[in-house]
Amino acid sequence: MAAMDPKELIARRVAQEVQPGSLVNLGIGLPSMVATFIAPDLGVFFQAENGVIGLGARPPEGMEDEYLTDAGGGFVTAVPGAASIDSAMSFGLIRGGHLDMTVLGGLQVDGHGRLANWMVPGHMVPGMGGAMDLVSGARRVVVAMQHSARGASKIVPECTLPLTSLRRVDLVVTELAVIRPEPDGLHLVERAPGIGAEDIVAATDAALIVPRDVPEMAI
């Protein structure tokens, strides 16, 4: 088999975390790819924080409606059973613990499992949008990101970028590894096909807790 595109591999692995019948919010970019790999019969509802529960795929050409959009402003459809809500309800769901899972991109995750994903001082100040609410409020937070950026590990001992939340995220999925932050540190729980645990340790600036046997992702 030819090597899978790293982003597709991450999205496919994250999709395995999505529970049947759950309410899930996917961030913009790589996280949004996860929806592609969720079977329609799982009964999963995707939330877009601008006001839809039951986000569907892109509409057919010429059928786009300006009042049915996702949080990135892109045109979407709605699935049967969908609901439209205002921002107070939308963030009430997120902050009140009613959202089962969020999948977000990351700039850094540190040894405490804390995420930084909203600004690079001096370079990128887009605003946090809903990211801080999602990380602080969702029942489960999964970070979907590439392991490194410009050759530098994005998994670091301490975040040097401003944090998104103090909350420890639940899982980090990269094209090399699945990592589960726990109170005692970052546990390496799976490795990507063809990647050795020692390769992952070498590519990671933060310390990893590595068991004797690290199973391969079932992709």
Partner 1 sequence: MKTAIKCAAAAALIPDGASVMIGGFMGVGSPHRLIDAMVARAIRGLTVIANDTAMPGRGIGKLISAGCVARVIASHIGLNPETQAKMISGEIEVELVPQGTLVERIRAGGVGLGGVLTATGLGTPVENGKEVIEIDGNRFLLERPIRADFALIAARQADYVGNLEYTLTAHNFNPVMALAADVVMAEPEHIMPVGVIPPDAVKTPGVLVDHLLERAV
Catalytic residues: 49
Q: Which stretch binds partner 1 (CB under 8 A): 87-95, 103-111, 149-157, 197-205?
A: 87-95
Q: Identify the three-state secondary structure at position 148.
A: strand
Q: Does 63 bind partner 1 (CB under 8 A)?
A: no
Residues that contact partner 1, how many (by CB under 8 A): 39
Where b means 16+ CB within 10 Å and e means fewer, 62-77 reads: eeeeeebbbbeeeebb
Out of 60, 67, 151, 183, name the contact with partner 1 by CB under 8 A. 67
Residues 22, 136, 146, 153: which binds partner 1 (CB under 8 A)?
136
Spatial contact of 125 and 118, defined as CB atoms under 8 Å apart: no
38: three-class secondary structure by DSSP: coil
Q: Does 166 bind partner 1 (CB under 8 A)?
A: yes
8-state DSSP, 39: -
Q: Could you tell me if 169 and 109 are in contact, meaning their C-beta atoms sit under 8 angstroms apart?
A: yes
* Binding of residue 128 to partner 1 (CB under 8 A): yes
Which listed range, 7-15, 91-99, 102-110, 148-156, lies at the site for partner 1 (CB under 8 A)? 91-99
In terms of CB distance, is 5 or 65 closer to partner 1?
A: 65
Tokens of 191: 């490795």
Both tokens of 182, joined, read 């726990």
Instruction: Report the site for partner 1 in 8-47 (rule: CB under 8 A).
Output: none
Residue 94, interface with partner 1 (CB under 8 A)? yes
Whole-number CA gyration radius for the chain = 17
Q: How far apart are CA 117 and CA 132, in angstroms?
A: 9
Q: Residue 148's beta-bridge partner residues?
A: 153
Should residue 210 be labelled a site residue for partner 1 when binding is judged by CB under 8 A? no
Query: Which of 95, 140, 168, 180 is in the footprint of partner 1 by CB under 8 A?
Result: 95
Question: Which positions lie near partner 1, rule CB under 8 A?
Answer: 48-52, 65-69, 71-73, 78, 84-88, 91, 94-95, 124-133, 136-137, 162-166
